[in-house]
Structure 1
């Protein structure tokens, strides 16, 4: 066969047979066609089949005479393509109908559209109640007075959205306007059913209601059995639920067999034992305590046997209330001014200003301070009273003791340097030794007491202005007057509050004879010269 003949044969074949599939690789039988186009196409016999194209473009082959519905084949001899409620299609039996997106047999089912818009299939003859299928021969759809709907058995009633058996139940109205299902013989109390033969409906103080056992009563919104309890009211109008036989006091129950209701100082009441009394607002045992009234009118409790002093409890066996019941002291003590003192070791004295001062026994008062007259003396100074050691004098408001070699410098105008005066307490009755702060001297008089007007201090150790000492004592005419000599030469001064001051034998104030050569030695020299003349005259007269 020549090439020309072969090409002619192929052209004739192409026009007589269909070529399907990718690049037409599938050559169909004579009379067949391609179902679909392109690479997805395949051969089919139009005499025996139907070709349909799916929604996605792919080919589908059905039996001859079939129809196409929802991307699938159907046999129109017994099936139908029906529209759904959503706009789609569904293949059903020809005798069926569509309910929503489902096929159903109307001889056995029926279709209902629900309140939500959806569809529901129920048995034939059924009805719909609250989107539920029901058999009207056995059930009924009821609506109550409030608009509530419920599916109930035939013969039932509806109450507050619930079914009830009318043969033994009933719908009862509540006090708030609602409804409740109760047995036919029950009643309603505060929205609850109750048996009036077993319970009682009681009204509360707020207008509400409550159920109590039959025969009970209400007290302060509580049920109680009057056989065992009572609702008592006290004198103030307070109520309480108490046991039978009990009393009420300040809104509380008490047992009168061992308790009682007592009036308090404020006009209120309190519960005490029958043996107790009331002090103020408190119960107390009078065998163990005593009630006293204070200065402000209030009341207080003290131990039995105690007494009251200045609004304080005290034991009279150990303490005493003095000064018109204003001062509490130890038993046996007395008062001095506004303080207590022990009469066994102290005494109460009056100062120059009229104040009371307690001092040690045997003490005296100098100005505003205590002093011991056995070792001290009270002297007058330009600035008040001074306490000095015995044998001392006052010179320019300080003490000095000539027996210690002290002298008075009238030209000195300074103040004593020491400020440690004797205390007004009993322990301050003794003073330090005079001259303890004075300069020491070996030439002072040997006598430790102040010179008297009739005798002079011994001159055996007296310093002389010359190298020789006289053989006789100097005249007493140069001695200080004894009228100003203190009992003791204290070297301290009292505190600023004291009316008495104490001299200070200070080296800056008291000059001994060796330290004052310019004045002291001249005075002593003159004294001894006069004494020598007197002695010489006396000897001449005797001879």
Structure 2
């Protein structure tokens, strides 16, 4: 029962208090019910707010499907469950991603995408790859399918190999090759051989394909036999193993030599002529029952025969009574419902319907020859005959069979098989028929297993413990095609270019002259240029010179010009002709390409320099109008036309100046301020009062001192004297050097 106090608080508007309430003030002492706030829990939270702050009314948790400070916004319709207060979805529908599931996954994604990044986390649609499935698989991927992360094909289309299936198999007629495309494991239909270079037999193989190694047909067309289906069976034979007998007759024929036609009503019959299947319109034993003889069919059952005295009912047809029934003319011969003879059988015939006789192959004995009801031989069968009625002949049904065995597991599972074949034949475990001994010496083999008792013919071998017949051809690369008859190992070695016990492995293409050791495969003449290592399979670094590399370690014997290092992996491209030290990379003979300098010729001359010193980098030839060791200076302003080359004014100097860069002024006493731009000699003479080559002599000063006399020479003569003096000094120096060198040679000769 609810206390009275509680009823009192409810009257004073405490109905929104979740827990205790002050009955006098109406103040809620605990929490408010969801959707209300305030001291008395009498204020309503904003719409769509599930729970708000007790004091401020700020919404702390929105109702399902809403978010925002005031729960004014709807969660995205693509959210899988709901969203938080900021609108972030708790999971997206499979086709969307993003915080609010606002972005659509790429249509290239399979089964949706990653919630945060949009990447195709669960795979790509067929034919694409990449994190976002925006790359196409290589065109030669089988079924256009490739690895999502790498884009490499799972399998290649026929005739291609490699990671991207972009490389054609080396062998033209190869269907499936190894990763490196150099070896073929499956040929295109119609080809076989190590390199799929040979045509399959065009005779009578059932299919275009043949065994990759031997070229043998997998199976033959009807009427043909042999490893290459090159031999024809006898007439009307569907499958045989020699030209004298038949294992299985073609449809419609029977007999030991398939020489007899099945009864006209039979579509197919047993080897002894008993019908197996009937032509349309015929049924029953020996297909003698005829649908056309029925005059009334009800519910797929015949209810009346046209001739009721000599025919009886069978399914939806009528069968003739046995002609071996005893009967009186004009009377019923057999019962119309089941065909049983009404007055019994004629002599020697047995069974209710008088169709059978005791087989002449039944053994005589204490009991009657056979059961008169079933026809089963009660004393067993004569040798070579089997089944309950002794009507199955061993050699007739299994040509060349010497011994058959009968298996009687149940009345429904009763059969006969050939167990042992006669001389020259063995029992094929797949077909159950006798086949010719497989390439046995003297055509002699065990009649059960086919094991060659005298060994194999030349060129053939068996695999002991795997297959005992000599059905394997010695390898085509065995010398003289001879091999061990019990294992196939080549006896006389291999043909040129092959090795191993079976000579089926090619010498490495990198062996010199394609020659290798017949047992190990080691290249006996060494590797071809550019190859090294085990069987010369490895290729020298591309940076090795034409001398190649060490045949064991692969170290370059010499680097290509412009390369150095242990593996020639570093460049010295600045060296003239690429000639640098193999170890350090320093340029030999210290010759650099123009505009480069330093011991490694890897430092560039300053920008305005055409040629710089290879050691110091000082510029010896600057571009036009620049000079200085770093070409940091411009040509002097006094160069004629402003041009300078190699640190000297190219066209001479402006009037009044001389020197390499025209930086020196002609003497002011030169007439018209003109002087030679190289030497500074006044070429126009001197102004009045001055004399000398450089107009450096003050005539007035000489006169005043009394020390000067009038010169005997003109200015031109003085110039010639100066130049002659310089030439004389040069001649004297040269002659002195020559004399010194001659004395040194004579002294050396005297010593020796």
TM-score category (smaller protein) = 0.3 to 0.5
TM-score, normalization by structure 1: 0.35
Higher-RCO chain (CA-CA 8 Å, sequence separation at least 6): 1
- More strand per residue: 1
Work out which of the two has the higher radius of gyration on C-alpha atoms and give 1 or 2: 1
TM-score, normalization by structure 2: 0.27
